[in-house]
Chain A
Amino acid sequence: MKAIYQILKSPSLSPAGFLVWTCAIVALFGVTHALGWRENATILTGTVPGDESPGAASLKAMAHMAAYFGATLVAPVFALASGIMVLLQRRLGSGRRPAQAAAGAEKDP
């Protein structure tokens, strides 16, 4: 539990932070998909679906499209970046060593 809490509290620009973003975006997409909001994407052709009002249909379509494109374009970039950053930290020796971390030798800005 403590590890999960620490990951969730990790800075946004860190390997763990990137994974948190990935999960958040994918989860958001899952929610809009489960709610069936993708049907509202027909608004792109100027067609208002079913009995929706144009405003509500546009809002749902925008939310779903943002979540979908986030999940397909942005989330994988965050996931990949997480792995790349870990590799870079190790390669460049810039990762915090456990002893330093325990001692709190470095502080986040």
Chain B
Amino acid sequence: MLTLSEFTGSAPRRKALAILSLGLAALIWLPLVHLLFASASTSYSSSKGVPLKAREMAKSQLGQWKDASTQAAEVRAMRRSNAEWDFMGRTFLVLSLAEMCFRDPALNRDYLTVIDRIVEETLRAEREHGMHFFLMPYSRSAPFREQPERSLFIDGEIACMAAARRMVEENESHRTELKSRVRIIESRLRRSPFMAAESYPNECWLFDHAMALAAIRLSDHLEHEDHRALMRDWVARARKNLIHAPTGLLCSSYTTEAGPLDGPEGSSLWLSAHCLRLVDETLAREQYDLARRWLERHFCGFAWSREWPVSWKGPTDIDSGAVIPILDIGAGASGLAFVGASSFGDSALLQRLHTTVEFAAFPARKSGGLRYCASNPVGDSVILYSTVLGPMWNKVLQGPP
């Protein structure tokens, strides 16, 4: 029987024993923590059907779109920090819903209605307030080099949304929109000697180019057109001008003359690798493997992404989210790593990433819905997209070139 004085302890070697006990306890506990938060891979990934986590996250996000006041509050909170997130949240939700329609055609009727509402509402906002409505304030800080001003960020993602909708079911108004955006993107890329189209004044982003090129490939599939020459030219220029020599990764932002503004950025690269699969599978795989090498970190069953490789010291911008020091955890980069890992079938990384968000992103489950308190609607829609992506890309990749 343990006595009280043994329990409170006062032996001469007590301190040494205490420190030894703490060390042993940490050695036992810390490697096991991840087991409490690990979930079965079938809950977030499946080749057919909609995984449970996707259903839960979709329910939460659709709830926001169905309830105008909730949606307005969420959008207001995001726009206070970054108007881009309002726009990107729409894109990733539309892509997710389209992928879910592929996985379960019974969802088509409900989800196509929501997709149409999101796209129409986005086009209305763009029409009424101009493209700057979805851009950060510095979009007005200088004139765009290419006039009339347009942002590839806006054109590429609207094209992607319209294409995703049409991939599920043809729609004439989306067809007109998609064709118009593709024509604009193509002509802007062709006019630039470096095939660099601005998203902000004299600022071009890999993320936006990858998304826009993916939209063109989706459009080619739908329209039976062929932009392979355009894509080959872009890839050749990217390999020539945008590679960060120490890592081999593509730079995330650059000028219209392809002068690098930022080095390789986790919050750009993971998604870009996914989109580039529709453009050049070799480049996409190469970039994913390099991102795994230079940006991904894991420890005791958890994984995260750095925003920058060790060889590049860049400032964190609003897209990066917070970067947690010492471990160098980039919130934005880690969120988008889900998309990369899922797209490239990297089940080991995906498992660790899901374990990490269950542990550290404060999941909130309510009425069958799921959201992460440490995320925001755009972060949640990115994770949702990672749980369902696949069928749409596969359809294009397996279709006629």
The 5 tightest CB contacts between A and B, nearest first, are A14-B9, A13-B18, A101-B5, A80-B25, A10-B8
The reply to whether B9 and A15 contact each other, CB–CB distance below 8 Å, is yes
The reply to whether B362 and A89 contact each other, CB–CB distance below 8 Å, is no
The reply to whether A47 and B15 contact each other, CB–CB distance below 8 Å, is no
The reply to whether B21 and A84 contact each other, CB–CB distance below 8 Å, is yes
The reply to whether A45 and B17 contact each other, CB–CB distance below 8 Å, is no
Of B28, B33, B82, which one neighbours A73 at CB under 8 angstroms?
Answer: B33
Sort chain A's interface into a size bin: 35 or more
Given contacts A45-B379, A101-B5, contact A11 B10 (CB under 8 A): yes
B138 within 8 A of A: no
The reply to whether A7 and B373 contact each other, CB–CB distance below 8 Å, is no
B367 within 8 A of A: no
B22 within 8 A of A: yes
A43 within 8 A of B: yes
Q: Which of A68-109 contact B (CB under 8 A)?
A: 68-69, 72-73, 76-82, 84-86, 88-90, 92, 94-96, 98, 101-102, 106-109
The reply to whether B82 and A46 contact each other, CB–CB distance below 8 Å, is yes
The minimal Cβ–Cβ distance linking B10 to chain A, given in whole angstroms, is 5
The reply to whether A81 and B24 contact each other, CB–CB distance below 8 Å, is yes
Determine the main DSSP class of B at the interface with A. helix
A3 within 8 A of B: yes
Sort chain B's interface into a size bin: 35 or more
Interface-forming stretch among B39-47, B72-80, B122-130? B72-80
Given contacts A42-B374, A72-B359, contact A3 B4 (CB under 8 A): yes
The minimal Cβ–Cβ distance linking B78 to chain A, given in whole angstroms, is 6
27 examples of A-B residue contacts, CB within 8 angstroms: A7-B4, A7-B8, A15-B9, A17-B8, A38-B362, A41-B361, A42-B375, A44-B374, A45-B321, A45-B331, A45-B376, A45-B379, A46-B81, A47-B77, A47-B80, A47-B85, A49-B77, A50-B73, A78-B22, A79-B25, A85-B18, A86-B6, A92-B13, A95-B11, A106-B11, A107-B10, A108-B14
The reply to whether A11 and B374 contact each other, CB–CB distance below 8 Å, is no
Of B8, B15, B22, which one neighbours A6 at CB under 8 angstroms?
Answer: B8
Q: Give the residues in chain B near A25, CB-CB below 8 Å.
A: none
The reply to whether A14 and B374 contact each other, CB–CB distance below 8 Å, is no
The reply to whether B11 and A81 contact each other, CB–CB distance below 8 Å, is no
The minimal Cβ–Cβ distance linking A74 to chain B, given in whole angstroms, is 9
The reply to whether B80 and A13 contact each other, CB–CB distance below 8 Å, is no
The reply to whether A81 and B81 contact each other, CB–CB distance below 8 Å, is no
B106 within 8 A of A: no
B52 within 8 A of A: no
Task: Using CB atoms, name the residue of chain A closest to B28.
Answer: A80
The reply to whether B6 and A95 contact each other, CB–CB distance below 8 Å, is yes
CA distance A38 to B374 in the complex (A): 8
The minimal Cβ–Cβ distance linking B377 to chain A, given in whole angstroms, is 9
The reply to whether B8 and A16 contact each other, CB–CB distance below 8 Å, is yes
Q: Give the residues in chain B near A26, CB-CB below 8 Å.
A: none
Task: Using CB atoms, name the residue of chain A closest to B24.
Answer: A84
